[in-house]
Structure 1
Amino acid sequence: MAFESLSEKLSSALKKISGKGKLTEANMNDMLKEVRMSLLEADVNYQVVKDFINDIKEQAMGREVLESFDPGQMVVKIVRDELEKILGPDQAKLVMNDQGITSVMMVGLQGTGKTTAAAKIARFLKNKQNKKVLLAACDVVRPAAIEQLKTLGKQIDVEVFSLGAETPAVYTAKCAKEYAKEKGYDVIIFDTAGRLHIDEALMNELSEMKEEIQPQDILLTVDAMTGQDIVTVARDFNDKLDITGLVVTKMDGDARGGGLLSVRSITKVPVLFVSNGEKVEDLEEFHPDRMAARILGMGDMLTLIEQAQDKIDEKAAAESASRMMAGVFTFNDLLSQFEQMNKLGSFSGLISKIPGMGKMAPKVDDEKMSEQIKHMKALIQSMTPYEREHPECLKNSRKQRIARGAGLKVADLNKLIAQQQQMQQLSKMMSGGGFGNPFGNPFASMQRGGGMYGASKHSGSKKQKPSKKKKKKK
């Protein structure tokens, strides 16, 4: 995930100053030196780093901070506030017409995920803002882009307007806007052509289209993996087109994140959205305050809650909760939980958004955990419907058949059964009004690294009676 290294180093630097009972220029300079190096290593622009450090030092050495009850915590607050200023300072949103159609023009270089970003924003507007959205396929340079947009449009149930690769892009855009007016659309998103680099032909075509459709927003997609090139590309596009916002893609990769920290400060163009995955639902509105907290390892519960509301099947979740409250937890319930968790994205991404858990995220092996869940699902799917709903019937012969069907060992199945038994025990406690420790969390044991399914050595075994001490004879 982006910012992992930066987050770890900034947290370490700030922890040193937080432990000081008194703030001095010497220990402040030591901390700021570490912060400076962390930002430069994360590929943040040198001038942005210089201004950032100067602003922090000026505020931190002020009388109010020096005389405060906890100067270390005051410095942490100052760093967070300054990060918000670099990233924001305020959340930017799409400009929506009160009357008539809102036009959004997507621009960017090839390979930045522009076409996918157009579909993601269309889905966002349709689902979150209840807008009737039309996608216009105006990338006629790359014929595959038209088919890609149509495929994505089917996934999100949004119509795609196209006149084919032979029709000039500007004429397609003009016809798309007329069609949108005729059919009563609220928003039209134009997917335009990209190039491997900025050239005169590209800019002329985009300028002509801008003149024709008069968009309310021109959004530039930039790849988080390109580092400081984000700033260069954003500046060049902004000079020619006056872009109104950025969509930062591939934030789920191992990008250092410096480009995102630099681009707003240098170009004055705000980030509107960040894309953190390949699926059409993997799009977040950009909140400077939340991102600043995430960078400092403080978590981002609001975004996590929003993702859960967006991606989790409420009906399935309610049914599962109802069964647990009734004291029932079978393999069907366990399978449902795995499928719901998969929708929320990577485990490291989830953990990084939970306050106080940020340091654990880099240590989580997403690939290994996904493989473990894949194996568990294979075992459950090898069972008959009766066996899934009646785990108590799983005797030796059935176990051998299920393990063979999943291509795994009976020992693996026994560990999975232990997991189900723990969750069954928890659900019975819940149904009886007890408040026990949720030891049956199917993911907790994997995070502890306790083997394939992490079941403890004594899972499902009877409790041992405490030994009685023999009374000494007088």
Structure 2
Amino acid sequence: MASALSDRLSRIVKEMRGQARITEANVTDMLREVRMALLEADVALPVVRDFIARVKEKALGQEVVGSLTPGQVLVSVVNRELAATMGDGVADINLAAQPPAVILMAGLQGAGKTTTTAKLAKHLIEKRKKKVLTVSGDVYRPAAIEQLKTVTAQAGAEWFPSTPDQKPVDIARAAIDYARKHYFDVLLVDTAGRLAIDEALMREIQELHAVLKPVETLFVVDAMQGQDAINTAKAFSAALPLTGIVLTKLDGDSRGGAALSVRQVTGAPIKFAGVSEKLDGLEVFDAERHAGRILGMGDILALVEQVTAGVDMAAAQKLAAKVKSGEGFDLNDFLDQIRQMKQMGGLSSFMDKLPSAMAAKASEADLSRAEKDIKRKEGIICSMTLKERSRPEIIKATRKRRIAAGAGVHVQEVNRLLKEFEQMQGMMKKMKGGGLMKMMKRMGGMKGMPKLPGMG
């Protein structure tokens, strides 16, 4: 949906560039494009109608100030109404309850409930400093309990054991009793999904809800489901008092209409979005920022947060002190920079958050090549001895052949890496005199940002 809507709006803005004011005719032209993009994105028809009516009403009352064009004003209105459709700012998770605060995870099979449960556990541990226990009430799906055990361990939370021969309600009672006795702040309850909505599933989850009395009942829905997501949302909303929605697979090549439809259908706010398969790939949902992404305006704020979270500040300060002291920049430092890049989610993760005009300059093929180049560089450096990394000048022909063989690359690749390293080393020497900011600007990139490894 993001690219389709963004492309259509960009075209309209260009067409309206020469026009001096907003008229009913140019608003109608633009809204025709918006309507088509939303319908193609599988947004429910009643939601589209309501959205278009609101935008038209607001747009016709807007004045064009000197610094803007009619197209820009219309995009601004669409942006505001998109955000309003998906929610109002950020809807925080509610943990205001006598511990443990119980969070019930509901949704269809395949929506990503189990992985999302672990992602949420990791989020609560790292961002809210909570002691978290997870339990699986899915006694039907083979290996569901073991899957939760594995991902819970990876998230750093504690897992409460359950078995397929138990009743979900009995599992829930035992888990909440254990959570109380061991002073857990939060209990996350993963529930069974089905391939289709059925009465047995709904009765079972209603019984669980009655026993657990959760402070949050989160509906986990696959953003790629389109119209199916809306039907599922209606059924779950009728059966349970939903307090929030988690949209999964928002990073996929989906049409993404669920983000607009589900909020309106259920009346429950979207609280989280799954933006990658990794356990740290869960973001607090911000309607305004997501509207910006849909319209191709990017999400620079999320990019800054991603960089801040991924950068090892202690390591960065250590490198800065080393460069300042004149000790020099060696291949170990170069390897650290490559690994920091990987830790921050890679190039594609950065590009997703940049405005579309910037991101469009790098194609999928370019990004894929750049990602492979970063991995290749890491492999080459890892094939070197510690002595070679700290003293690159000793790497001559024989050593180069050995390093290339160890990394599974040609000798030319080793030569290319060493040349790039020498260029980086030269830059670091210039930084010694305190010209860090000047150097970053000289290195090019976007608005003073340095070029990233592998981007040429």
Counterpart for residue 339 of structure 1: 339
Query: CA 1:326 to 1:197, structure 2 compared with 1: closer, same or farther past 3 Å?
Result: farther
Q: Deviations along 1:254-300, whole A, 9 cap, x unmatched?
A: 01111212211232221111111221111100000110111122221
Contact 2:374/2:453 (CA < 8 Å) preserved in 1? no
Q: Residue type matched to 1:218 in 2?
A: T
| Residue identity in the other structure for 1:329 | F
Indicate if the aligned counterparts of 1:352 and 1:361 stay in contact, CA closer than 8 A: no
1:112 alignment partner, SS class:
coil
- Segments of structure 2 that go 5 or more residues without pairing to the other structure are none
What does residue 330 of structure 1 align with?
330
Q: Quick check: which has more Rg, 1 or 2?
A: 1
Structure 1, gaps ≥5 residues long: 448-453, 455-474
Separation in 2, partners of 1:68, 1:88: 31
| Structural mapping, 1:77-156, within 5 Å | 77-156=76-155
Deviates more, 1:228-237 or 1:6-15: 6-15
Matched, 1:353 2:353: yes
Q: Is residue 386 of structure 2 the alignment partner of residue 388 of structure 1?
A: no
Counterpart contact for 1:326–1:427, Cα < 8 Å: no
- Does 317-326 or 345-354 show the bigger shift? 317-326
Aligned to 2:15: 16
Deviations 1:117-162 (A, max 9, x none): 0011011111101111111122111241111111112212211112
Q: 2:253, 2:197 → 1: CA distance?
A: 25
Show the counterpart of 1:254.
253
Report if the CA contact (8 A) 1:16-1:31 is conserved. Answer: no
Q: Is the 8 A contact 1:422 1:439 kept in 2?
A: no
Residue 438 in structure 1 maps to residue 439 in structure 2 = no
- Corresponding residue pairs, total: 446
Identity of aligned residues (%): 43
**1:223 counterpart residue number:** 222
Equivalent pair of 1:326/1:428 in contact (CA under 8 Å): no
Structure 1 residues 247, 176: CA separation in 2 closer, same or farther (over 3 Å shift)?
same
What SS does structure 2 have at the residue aligned with 1:104? strand
1:442 is displaced (CA, Å) by: 8.6
Hey, what's the Cα distance between the residues in 2 that align with 1:144 and 1:198? 21
TM-score, normalising length: structure 1: 0.88
Identify the residue that residue 470 of structure 1 maps to in structure 2: none
Amino acid in structure 1 at the alignment position of 2:81: E
Distance in 2 separating the partners of 1:326 and 1:36: 60
Aligned residue number for residue 420 of structure 1 = 421
Distance 1:40 1:217, change over 3 A: same
C-alpha contact 1:329 1:420 (8 A) present in aligned 2: no
* Distance in structure 1 (CA, Å) of the matches to 2:330 and 2:5: 42
Contact map agreement 1:140 1:164 (CA 8 A) in 2: yes
Q: For 2:68, which of 59, 70, 73 is the aligned residue?
A: 70
1:453-468 equivalence runs, <5 A = 454=456
Is contact 1:17-1:31 (8 Å) kept? Answer: no
Q: Equivalent residues in 2 for 1:231-380 (5 A)? A: 231-326=230-325, 328-355=328-355, 357-360=358-361, 363=364, 365-380=366-381
392-401 or 245-254, which deviates more: 392-401
- Once the two structures are superposed, residues 423-454 of structure 1 have per-residue CA deviations (whole angstroms, 9 ceiling, x without a partner) of 1111111112232312699955844xxxxxx4
SS at structure 2 position matched to 1:153: helix
1:45 Cα deviation (Å)? 2.0
What is the root-mean-square deviation in Å for CA atoms of aligned residues?
2.3
Q: Distance in 2 between matches of 1:362 and 1:34?
A: 25
